[in-house]
Amino acid sequence: MDSVIIDDAEYVDKRIDIVLSSILDIPRNRIQNYIKSGYITVNSKEIKKNYKLELNDKVSLAIPEEQEMSIEPKKADIKIVYEDDDLVVVDKPSGLVVHPGAAKEDTTVLSALMYLGVKLSIVGAPLRGGVVHRIDKNTSGILVLAKSDKAHFLLAKQFFSHTIDRKYIGIVCGHLREKVGVVDAPIARHPIKRKEFCVRNGGKNAKTEYKVLKSLNGMDVVMFKLFTGRTHQIRVHMKHLNHPLVGDEVYGKKSNIIKRHALHAFFLKFIHPSTGKEMSFFSRLPNDMLKIIKSGG
């Protein structure tokens, strides 16, 4: 049974089902069912779903494996950058989703790791086991997944608290007037186009820092730093500035120089959930983006 200590005052006096649902990105009713079944305990005692956390509470998770796994092992072109007993870091190519979604994809990062014999955390299983964060299907780059339930909670907590350092390289249409800036604008689901997101009052807080690295012919190469992790955040914020990513057919337009939106997660830094050591990982730019940069656009 994996256990974590509640050592952050932010979670004190808040309902355990709400806190765990938010951090682990698991539906609240599933957390409540785990609590009801005794799979989640506090200080080695069973609790109710409305239990309010106290400082130094020891929360234990003993989530059972699903009887029927809905993911089949599938070979895919992913590279394992680092692996230990707690986590695995992979370099994801564009065109591959992290886990099955509404489209019920057969080949995903999860199915590829299963093919390679990597056993992930049960949290979020069967379709999202081990997933503590995601990057879009057509975004390439670095991704970390949890192998133990304790690591899953502690990594997810870092993403939830926005203490993870994430940087991306993108190529945007046109030239940004300000070479360095911050977009601090709330993001919500589009009121009409339900598969899209937009900057909208009342949405979730979203903050992106950007810096132009190089100007090309009719486009800029930009480095982005995420302070929050909203769905499509960089893509939406760049559309908001009227400089969508090159090749972004959803928030911009189709490109004849790249077959997907030009965005790559090149840097990830976090605290290891067991050792407490800071870990940093880099991923080189993929060939389709390098080709644009080398050609000058």
Which residues form the catalytic set?
A: 136
DSSP state of 67: S
Counting Cβ atoms within 10 Å, is residue 280 exposed (0-12), middle (13-18) or buried (19+)? exposed
Distance of CA 14 to CAs 43, 123, 156, 228, Å? 16, 21, 18, 22
Identify whether the C-beta of residue 48 lies closer than 8 Å to the C-beta of residue 38: no
Report the alpha-carbon distance of residue 124 to residue 146 in Å, rounded: 11
Report the alpha-carbon distance of residue 267 to residue 244 in Å, rounded: 21
Torsion sign across C-alpha atoms 231, 234, 235, 240: positive
Alpha helices, H only, the chain = 16-24, 28-36, 109-115, 149-160, 233-240, 287-295
Report the alpha-carbon distance of residue 209 to residue 180 in Å, rounded: 8
**Going by DSSP bridges, is the β-strand pair 79-83/180-184 parallel, antiparallel, or unpaired?**
unpaired
Report the alpha-carbon distance of residue 169 to residue 224 in Å, rounded: 6
